[in-house]
Amino acid sequence: MIKSFLLSVLIAGSSAIALNAQAPVNPEAGNHISRIDSLTQALLGNIPSHSPVGHDETRYRNGKEFEALMSQIGSTIPFQYHRMVEQHIRYFMGYGEGYFNQIHERMKLYFPIFEEILDKNGLPTELKYISVIESNLNPSAVSWCGATGLWQFMPYTGKLMGMRIGYPCDDRKSIVESTQKACEYFANSQSIFNNWLMSIASYNCGPGNVQKAIRRSGGKTNFWEVLPFLPKETQNYVPKFIAVAYVLNFTEKGKNALHNDQSIVLAPTKIDSTMHLGKINEYLGTHHNLVGLNQELLNQNTDMAHGSVILMPYNASMDFIDRFDSAAAFAKYNHHVVPTNYRAPYAYPKSVPRGVQVAGSTGVTAPKTSSGKIVVVVKRGQTLSAIARTHGVTVTQIKTWNHLRSNSIQVGQRLVIQKNRR
């Protein structure tokens, strides 16, 4: 909680300073931002990025001892013992030193951000371990089925939640934005189930599959009694989550003096939207790896950055703000050319393409525009085939226009339908 509070102070302070970053700095004034904030940097940098609960490796002898041990974490998530948890602990402990060194190096970078955002959303910070089993804390991770980023959002789910997915920006690769959307997903699932293990399972297979498993179990409310009715992959998902939390808190694998002693503090920094990320990195020094910290900007043009804010290491951020004018001049990006292979992504929820009318809640289709497009809002009981018949088009056409992979649609979903001009 102390680390979370200090990070919030840093973020608020950095943002406030950055808003005035375009004002020239007088070197003779003796009040350089980097000098003013040196104490803040030293204070935050000395906070451990990860503090295992158990200082000495403790081996439990039975389920009760395991649960007593895990209760020391102090989480509202019930870290319960199960034979499958034991299996995954043994499996996870089998990974070599190289793997755990990499995990700890990434924890040093991402865990402070995860904890800050989870805490702001009123969620257990232990949910950060979900990202370990999802992506091994790799923002570039892409699964065989297209799930991407630290939290492995599928394209459809990401778009449904309002994420920008498609060139030149993929929010699934954003450290901050993807974590915020993961929090929204967890909060929604918890509002449905009021059971953290069920909610965590739903992150893997969706709330619908969890609800189906509950019905098939005869309405059980105990997660472990519902577990056999879940999809096979999900049956292992929650035990794996509990196993990772145990290993990283109560075993030698959870300790790494090289990376645990200090956090890498990342500061949200206001930039000019005409700057090029690669050029900013070049100006400040390529060892800062700004491109790697802001991978959502696929073309490195910062005009797609949320609120014209990017993540920088603390030192780089202070240096950048201190020398903003010269940095802006050096990093100016004047090539706003859309590639010929660019295809705009599907319109996200709550946004409507320009020149397109939305069908009203009465079910009456909006009139065609000069673009020949309309947007239909899906009503309860409607199917894709019924909508296609109503508008004289085919199901295949609707799926193509809206980048749908299946015939499944949801109430409130907006579907673009293209009509021939008259």
Structure tokens at 363: 């079910």
Lookup result for tokens 């680390």:
3
Secondary structure of 305-328 as H, E, C letters: CHHHEEEEEHHHHHHHHHCHHHHH
Q: Write the CB contacts of 68 (distance below 8 Å, at least 6 apart in sequence).
A: 60
Spacing of C-alpha 397 from chain mean position: 32
| CA–CA distance, 167 with 320 (Å, rounded to integer) | 27
Q: What is the DSSP letter of 29?
A: G
Give dist(CA 194, CA 191) in Å, integer: 6
Closest by Cα among 388, 386, 407, 406 to 397? 388
Active site residue 134: yes
Taking the CA of residue 1 as centre, how many other CA atoms within 13 Å lie in the half-sphere pointing to its CB? 6
What is the 3-class SS of 45-60, one letter each residue?
HCCCCCCCCCCCCCCC
- Give me the residues paired with residue 268 across strands: 311
What the block records as the tokens of 369 is 């525009």
Catalytic residue among 115, 116, 126, 134: 134
Q: Please tell me the distance from the alpha carbon of residue 255 to that of residue 166, in angstroms, as a whole number.
A: 39
Q: Which helix (H) or strand (E) holds 377?
A: strand 373-377
Could you give the 3-state DSSP secondary structure of residue 96?
A: coil
Residue appearing with tokens 């196993």: 243
> Rounded to an integer, what distance in angstroms lies between the CA atom of residue 422 and that of residue 419?
9
Residues 6 or more apart whose Cβ sits within 8 Å of residue 381? none
Known catalytic residues? 134
